[in-house]
Structure 1
Amino acid sequence: MKETGYWFQAGLVVAWWVSLAASESVFAAFQFPGIGPLAFWAFLIPDLVLIAGGSMLRAYVRSALLEYVVLGAFGYASLYCLNASLLTGGGVLPTVLMLLGLAFNLFLVFQDSLFRNSTASRPLNLAKTLIQVLCMWSVALVAIPYVLLTSFESTRGPQWDAPMFIGATLFVLCGALGLRSAWIMVRDGLGTPLPLDQANRLVITGPYRFVRNPMAIAGIGQGVAVAIMFESWPILIYALLGAVVWHTVVRPVEERDLLDRFGAEYEAYRNRLLCWWPRF
């Protein structure tokens, strides 16, 4: 399962550098004010060798050392970008990208230690779930889309035209699905949606009666809704990449954990329902 994540990462890094070379607007979006383009291109070979090459090699060879090398490369790049943003007052997009890459590699390296059953009471789990939802919405659906808008195009104010209405409607519907699913996880699963504080029971009620991953559908749907509202291709690409990452990297890890904990009960549930398309 890790192999897929490292293959995906290697491909993304190469595609990113190709897009930088092919598009002036993409290149400009990832620059730090006051730092010349030569300094930026100086990272080409380290990126291709340590991150893309290291990821590709790790996809073939099981090696904890390789995982830590790639993680360290992302850590160094993240610290560089953070420092550059502080010094120049700009370059938010490359800094966000590096931090997302760092988080992704932390997940790849330490995924086996990320799953723990909740030991809290239902009211406390509800409070923690609300905080989780607020943080996720603030970062994934507000902060990152705002950075993409300001980096690639001028932000437009609210305009109640057809795209805004369609996007807002989709956002509310998906938000309601996500909140309902989160509540069912707290009520029937005795846990939270976060793997670090996960449910103690297999949840097959509420929206989970019809589809296996309603919260993932809700989150991706909200990302697409934001893209529609602001008519933004970068946000749409971001949302769809999130769906690919979740489906190919995160989902298999979650399903392996569920199968280990609930055995035949989860196997029957997985065989009965699809991941993305509901069955009524």
Structure 2
Amino acid sequence: MSGLFLFLAAFLASAVEMVEALTIILAVGLTRGWRSALIGTGAALLTLAVIIAVFGPVLNRIPLGTLRLVVGGLLLIFGIQWWRKAILRASGFKALHDEDATFAEETEVARQQDHEQKAGLDWYGFTLTFKSVLLEGLEVAFIVVTFGAAARRLDLAIYGAVAALVLVLAAGALLHRPLSQVPENTLKFTVGLLLSTFGTYWASEGAGAVWPGGDAAILGILALYALASWGYVRVLRREKQAQTDERPVRA
């Protein structure tokens, strides 16, 4: 059961970050040329591979209890941020992320830049895709490596990330446009819940706690957090509606 949740968390978290990176790649490729976009993407992926190769094995040398305490705490910080933003978006206090708007904005910026060619390479397009893929990829790498190390199942975390990569790339190749139909806030809500759940479970185990039912306790934590999310969204929606109703109507 924990293996299934591990795969699902790695898959969803990776998919969200990859969709955001793909939006930038498509914007650069369609406006500046695919050569610079693809070279920048490849350079970023190579850099990520080096980072994972260097730091990945180090985590396996840390005692499991200490590793789970540290990783659990980091996942809680990371997951709660996603969870909080998703609740605010679902309740109307924060605008929903719009991939179409991001695509249009990045496309316009790319078109306004001077299209300079140096040694046959558009350095603006290269830099923009390299930076975007590297930053989003670092988040994916953090989730995959820490999840895999803490659970001692790096293979499942990698499979989840690879499955997300294949799906997002296939969708991008077919659509050639931002994946605006993907319910991103729903994905981030789910990922935030899963990261917070695993963070709570592993941090507690690392601190010496013993969960009743073992891995089955993950379901209980997830259900508790999901119920709390439902309650928060309902309360905040009422508060948002009340604020809207109190606004004076201009003549």
Q: TM-score, length-normalised on structure 2?
A: 0.28
Q: Which has the higher contact order (CA 8 A, sep 6+)?
A: 2
Q: TM-score, length-normalised on structure 1?
A: 0.26
